[in-house]
Amino acid sequence: MCIVKQLNSPTGKTVLGNRRGVAILVAIGVVAVLLTAGLALNRRIRSSVTGALLARERVVLSEMAVSGVHAAMVMLINDRKENDTDTLQEDWANPEKVAEVMGLIPYDEGRVDVRITDERGKIQVNALVKFPEGQQFSASQRFLWERLLDQVFSLFEAVPDSDPNMIINSLKDWMDSGDDEAITGLSGAESDYYEGLEPPYQCKNGPFDHLGEVALVQGITPELFTGAGGAAGLSSLLTVHGVSAVGDGRFTYDGKINISTADVAVLAALLPAENSDLSEALADYRVAKADEAYTHTISNAGWYKNVPGAGGIAISPDLVTVSSDLFRIVSTATRNERTTTVNVVVQRVKEQDTGRWICKALMWQVE
């Protein structure tokens, strides 16, 4: 009886109203929690879908770029079947011809751009030391390096804070097979020098396996290695590839440069110092045309003597060749405003069992 009276009182109506208000607040809270959970779930789903789409896009771009690499390999194999020389006058070196080949591959969307260059057109850094002994300079390669560094240094407006002789001696100490602190000359460097750096590291005492190791050598500044102010650095003129087996697990580097594909700076290093200004004339001679046909034959190592002003020049036969077995393929796939680049160095070899020419990948990098 007492309770009934309380409910019928004004106070009872207030209690019921409060309960209804609490119920509404609880309902609003539940809705808010569900809405927050729904939004969070939506974000996770959208994130997962976006991630899946990006992953799919990366896979598609990667496969497109790889297809470009394989198309380039086919061009190089077909070229080797036709002749045993490699020059800038051949289809693999012609961007338009390469683009025509890539145009034969049907892509639903996007495109693939491929560039093929000759690694034999660069200076073999490991050839500076005579392998397999690995103790002494190669005289012809040392002279080549002296001229190369003179050329590279001359390209910089501000002379790099380094010394060519120190660089050459330090390169030898990095590669020679001894680490007895008997540095080359007065400016070489063995492990005691590198272990005093921050961070410290050891001298390799062996051939370079990766071009980035060259940047670790005493005297090679970042500007010298990568270039600066429009001047090309050493990284664009050198290669670590080109090893040849000599039996019993030993190896060597012949150091020969393809004069028919080499960069202008490398051509200048091949020429005597007093004739280095002829390098541009040699480069132009290789690609001169008349009525869309190449004017000059550059399929023998002595073609440079036919260039006006170069008739009396003699380049050591130990330094030059006109054939190659090493190539760099850079394949870039573009799709939906995204790109993937595959950078590959291949060696063109003949299989002993089948007699077929193949391209064996020596280095594979995805960017």
pLDDT digits (tens, 9 = 90+) for 202-248: 988 899 999 999 999 999 999 999 987 777 789 999 999 999 988 88
The predicted pLDDT at position 209 comes to: 94
pTM: 0.83
CA–CA dist 144, 216 (Å, integer): 21
Per-chain mean pLDDT for the chain: 88
Determine contact, residues 260/85, Cβ cutoff 8 Å.
yes
Looking at the predicted structure, is the pLDDT value of residue 126 above 90? Answer: yes
Pair 10, 129 in one domain: no
Pair 155, 289 in one domain: yes
How many domains would you assign to the chain? 2
The predicted pLDDT at position 200 comes to: 93
Pair 150, 288 in one domain: yes
Asked which of 299, 317, 335 is the last residue of a domain, the reply is: 317
CA–CA dist 320, 326 (Å, integer): 15
The winner for highest mean pLDDT among 28-32, 53-57, 244-248 is 244-248
Pair 41, 112 in one domain: yes
The predicted pLDDT at position 154 comes to: 84
Mean pLDDT (whole number) for 81-105: 95
Mean pLDDT (whole number) for 93-108: 93
Q: pLDDT digits over 187-200, tens only?
A: 778 888 999 999 99
Taking residue 171's Cβ as centre, other Cβ atoms within 10 Å add up to 26
The predicted pLDDT at position 7 comes to: 45
Q: Which CATH number is 280's domain given?
A: 1.10.40.60
* Confidence band for 182, pLDDT divided at 50, 70 and 90: low
CA–CA dist 3, 152 (Å, integer): 103
Of 61-65, 110-114, 226-230, minimum mean pLDDT range: 226-230
CA–CA dist 244, 321 (Å, integer): 15
Pair 42, 71 in one domain: yes
Q: Which two tokens stand for residue 201?
A: 């590291």
Q: Which residue range forms the structural domain that includes residue 38? A: 1-121+325-367
Burial class (CB in 10 A: 0-12, 13-18, 19+), 87: buried
Distances 338 to 66, 114, 332, 333, 361 between C-alpha atoms, Å: 16, 16, 10, 8, 25
Pair 117, 127 in one domain: no
Pair 128, 232 in one domain: yes
Pair 135, 249 in one domain: yes
CA–CA dist 63, 245 (Å, integer): 34
Taking residue 81's Cβ as centre, other Cβ atoms within 10 Å add up to 9
* Confidence band for 27, pLDDT divided at 50, 70 and 90: confident
Mean pLDDT (whole number) for 260-282: 94
Pair 7, 104 in one domain: yes
Q: Which CATH number is 75's domain given?
A: 3.30.1300.30
Asked which of 296, 317, 338 is the last residue of a domain, the reply is: 317
Taking residue 363's Cβ as centre, other Cβ atoms within 10 Å add up to 16
Pair 55, 175 in one domain: no
Looking at the predicted structure, is the pLDDT value of residue 315 above 90? Answer: yes
Pair 141, 281 in one domain: yes
Pair 90, 129 in one domain: no
Q: Three-state SS string across 104-150, please? A: CCCCCCCEEEEEEEEHHHCEEHHHHECCCCCCCECHHHHHHHHHHHH
The predicted pLDDT at position 231 comes to: 76
* Confidence band for 53, pLDDT divided at 50, 70 and 90: low
Q: pLDDT digits over 235-261, tens only?
A: 999 999 999 988 888 899 999 999 999
